[in-house]
Structure 1
């Protein structure tokens, strides 16, 4: 896609987010024109990351809010693909009583709001919904090890709701399951082509000026940030004693792959490495002896090897190739990014 005549316009929601901003950059480099959305385009912090990317190709920023019906109409109008990346984010300043409303219902309604805009546009050839393996692997602990989870597996909403108090992690998992299912139902009823990508924990450099949980959590063994260490261990526990990771460049390439591949359909797990926090800690201690890597925070309850694996065999089987497959490759980039962000000392 080099000439203006061939250039296709696509929409990426939540453009200032960690994944969305990296996806926008890659799409621009591939010759697409981009419409993206943020909640407040008048806020300099929300649009700061777009300035450098505007040099790569046509990029328009629209105001839209997941809560507001019809607010995505303008951004989606005339678009060939729509990448649904935006999702409600838990705000620690809010009471946990609001999790059901803000995260679960907010995620489902926000997804449907964008889907309705896609249906109204009449030009959208495919919707690519970014879900999460939080919609795949959050379930009752499985006995033994060697379990492989694929796209036929769903997180257990009943189990998640049986907890005494809904946590942000559980609310996020429930939200992703329900959003996927409602999006699929809507697509079928309205003749839209929908493909869902379920990424594992995502790491690596992004144009985003603020990073989401996965980057500081995966760097916490180096930084010693106790809150992020607890989140890292919580992710491993919630994933069935596994720490599956993928590089953000591979995730963005997979998003574009399933958009462009006409035969793509259904769900795709996107992850290139199944590991554990114990394995990561040992690797980091050897690779970065200059840092006081927090191996001391792990006990016998943390397995050396993952008890479950999330399989990306469907994605690979259809012709996708992961570029980053080892801890070495992923953490080289992640630590450099952490230094840029001021999270890791130089």
Structure 2
């Protein structure tokens, strides 16, 4: 039995997922384990069970090693990526209220990404690096009028964002700059790199605390005005409220990792484009018990002004499992109830 188990472990593909206590990373760790991978994941403090207890639960699914690493510490990811076939770079600074965004968010994001990539080069076993960026690196730019279709050739306008300093401007800037720095590093060092740019990501995940995206898409049901404001800002900044289920995002990450030879460059990952007006009508009809305010979206466009397209990803053969608001909200409402964001 022991020999058989050892042989089974030897055949397993091994993946590293950075930032395992995060929302997306926790879902990715779970899916990799369910797909038969051995997984190493990193957190800043493995002993902090308040943030990491879900990782202990996930160890029941398969071989999962939780290691300490910090984006700001050069070489701290060496052990985590050693011997891995694939490295999924999910961890990134998200300090949206920084007093000095350039020093506290943008520079650490670039520095941390390159830190992990240098560890991947030293490991010598990593066949493919999958960098999780954001559609914020695609759509944060002036979009006058209607009918825009944004794809992988579209980049958020760093000069415009730095000049306007509107809202959480530093976040899209950080994503653009870390993507470009990673791409340049990959070319110089022979690293096989793909970047995935997820849109607003929702749905159930193992992480104990949901990120901003989940309470935001539930805000019209919960009545949380601050979170509803994030939806409005998203639409005004990008021309729509695009969504993807976290399970589809994780499947896309693994899909792109395993297509080592044919996949390249950036991939947008989003299954639908909606907006505030459409959401209001849909949620009021589907969940009358939550008394959605029908006039919440007054003053906003009736239809999305832009479409963030995943045609490249679909063209590679990927299929989304959650394609409609019905399918997405059936899951995220249950998750919101379980987390206490919504009453039953």
Q: TM-score, normalised by structure 2?
A: 0.96
Tell me how far apart the structure 2 counterparts of residues 235 and 73 of structure 1 sit (CA, whole Å): 37
Tell me how far apart the structure 2 counterparts of residues 100 and 322 of structure 1 sit (CA, whole Å): 36
1:217 aligns with 2:206: no
Partner residue, 2:259: 261
Partner residue, 1:22: 27
Partner residue, 2:126: 124
Tell me how far apart the structure 2 counterparts of residues 279 and 3 of structure 1 sit (CA, whole Å): 50
Tell me how far apart the structure 1 counterparts of residues 293 and 229 of structure 2 sit (CA, whole Å): 12
Structure 1 segments of 4+ aligned residues over 6 angstroms from their partners: none
Q: TM-score, normalised by structure 1?
A: 0.95
Tell me how far apart the structure 2 counterparts of residues 173 and 338 of structure 1 sit (CA, whole Å): 27
Partner residue, 1:152: 153
Tell me how far apart the structure 2 counterparts of residues 304 and 329 of structure 1 sit (CA, whole Å): 22
Residue deviations 1:191-241 (CA, integer Å, cap 9, x gap): 1100000000001000010111100001000111111111111111111x2
Partner residue, 2:3: none
More helix by share: 2
> What SS does structure 2 have at the residue aligned with 1:97?
coil
Tell me how far apart the structure 2 counterparts of residues 145 and 46 of structure 1 sit (CA, whole Å): 42
> Are the counterparts in 1 of residues 109 and 178 from structure 2 also a CA contact under 8 Å?
yes
Partner residue, 1:64: 69
Partner residue, 2:305: 307
1:139 aligns with 2:138: no
Partner residue, 1:244: 242
Q: CA, structure 1 residues 91+200, in 2 after alignment: closer, same or farther (shift >3 Å)?
A: closer
What pairs with 1:1-346 in structure 2 (closer than 5 Å)? 3-90=8-95, 92=97, 96-142=98-144, 144-163=145-164, 165=165, 167=167, 169-239=168-238, 241-262=239-260, 263-300=262-299, 302-346=300-344
Task: State how many pairs are aligned.
Answer: 337
Unaligned runs of 5+ in 1: none
> What SS does structure 1 have at the residue aligned with 2:99?
helix
Root-mean-square deviation (Å):
1.2
> What SS does structure 1 have at the residue aligned with 2:9?
coil
Unaligned runs of 5+ in 2: 1-6
Tell me how far apart the structure 2 counterparts of residues 166 and 73 of structure 1 sit (CA, whole Å): 37
